[in-house]
Amino acid sequence: MFGGMAESLRQKTGIDPEYLRSGMLVKPPFDVQAANQWCAQHDFPVEARGDDLFLPNVAQARNPRLLQALRASVESLGGRIVEHCAVNQIISDANHVKHLSTSQGDFKADTYIVTAGAWSKQLLGEQALHTDIKPIRGQMLLFKFDTPPLPHIVLQAGLYLIPRKDGHLLVGSTLEDVGFDKSTTEEVRDSLWQRATNVLPSLKDMPIIQHWAGLRPASPGNIPTIGRHPNLQNLFINSGHFRYGVTMSPASVEVLLNEMDGTPQPFDVSAYHWR
Ligand SMILES: Cc1cc2nc3c(=O)[nH]c(=O)nc-3n(C[C@H](O)[C@H](O)[C@H](O)COP(=O)(O)OP(=O)(O)OC[C@H]3O[C@@H](n4cnc5c(N)ncnc54)[C@H](O)[C@@H]3O)c2cc1C
């Protein structure tokens, strides 16, 4: 679904999320048998290249551009985005949300959807029920070349290098259980740099142009929560996608919209339901 969504956003807004099927080269160590078995089971093309595996169908998108395009699309449809506005409390009676109490006053709507990522559980308070979403920090480095230094994404032992069309190269990432702390550390910067330069020695001559961290919304079993609150009829959630929230966004939204208007789902989505 992603390629279609990106192209439709580009046409509607003039902002190109740069969805690109660049492919991904996976370098050892990895379990060759398990990898080939997974690809065969999921009918996912794979080519052996010496000791490496190349997955030609793996794609990438420029996430900041994707968000800019989504924003322009929402606004062109008449949507209003209120920035720097913290929801402090969800005010409800026994079975309905009545309004939101926020840093910019109260907001009232027919329907509410919690999409607060790693903060969703805190925001919901006791209404979170069994939803267990917590932050896992990831740090990234950004480099800039004149032209892409790699023709495809490279993955080795959890480290990935993603070449953008304009010569930017993204290096990530870490999985750190440090709470709501978005700071970066020198230790991680050095270790990402070390590992990345082993894969691509020409990186040694390039300055790091950015180093930042984000908080992923981690869920038990990596399964996001999508659907209606068991008690509050007008409250929905779409959260807890951990490492794949961008990848899963078009499909998650379809599942959510089906839940909201009662359309039958194209497959069994009960694992995502709010409990
Ligand atoms: C280093 C790193 C690399 C990643 N790589 C990938 C990848 O390659 N592919 C992929 O698919 N995913 C990737 N992810 C994961 C992806 O970023 C997340 O799954 C996704 O952003 C989750 O989207 P979300 O909208 O649920 O939450 P978020 O993007 O976290 O957005 C939640 C928003 O809610 C706001 N908010 C929180 N509390 C409140 C409140 N009380 N009131 C108002 N607003 C509030 C926050 O400020 C934030 O803007 C990566 C994440 C990191 C950190």
pLDDT, one tens digit per residue, over 35-57 is 999 999 999 999 999 999 999 99
Mean pLDDT of 104-115: 98
114 is a domain residue? yes
Could you list the residue range(s) of the whole structural domain that residue 12 is in?
A: 1-21+58-81
Contact 159, 139 (CB under 8 A): no
Residues 126, 225 share a domain: yes
Closest CA to 150 of 17, 45, 27: 27
**261 within domain boundaries:** yes
Pocket test for ligand 1, best of 216, 247, 255 (most atoms within 8 A of CB): 216
Q: Residue 91 domain-assigned? A: yes
The tally of domains found in the chain comes to 3
Separation of CA 117 and ligand 1 centre (Å) = 5
pTM given for the model: 0.96
**What spacing in Å lies between the alpha carbon of 215 and ligand 1's midpoint?**
7
Are residue 90 and residue 120 in the same domain, yes or no? yes
pLDDT digits (tens, 9 = 90+) for 58-94: 999 999 999 999 999 999 999 999 999 999 999 999 9
Q: Is 164 within the bounds of a domain? A: no
Contacts for 95 with CB less than 8 Å, ≥ 6 apart: 231, 232, 233
| Assigned domain for 232 exists | yes
Same domain, 126 and 50: no
Co-location of 28 and 101 in the same domain: no
C-alpha gyration radius of the chain:
21
216, part of any domain:
no
pLDDT value of position 181: 98
Residue 199 CA to ligand 1 center (angstroms) comes to 28
**Mean pLDDT, range 107-111, rounded to an integer:** 97
* Burial label, 123 (beta-carbon count in 10 A; 0-12, 13-18, 19+): buried
SS3 147: coil
% the chain with pLDDT above 70 = 100
Q: Is residue 203 part of a domain?
A: no
Nearest to 153 by CA among 253, 23, 247, 39: 23
- Establish if 187 belongs to a structural domain: no
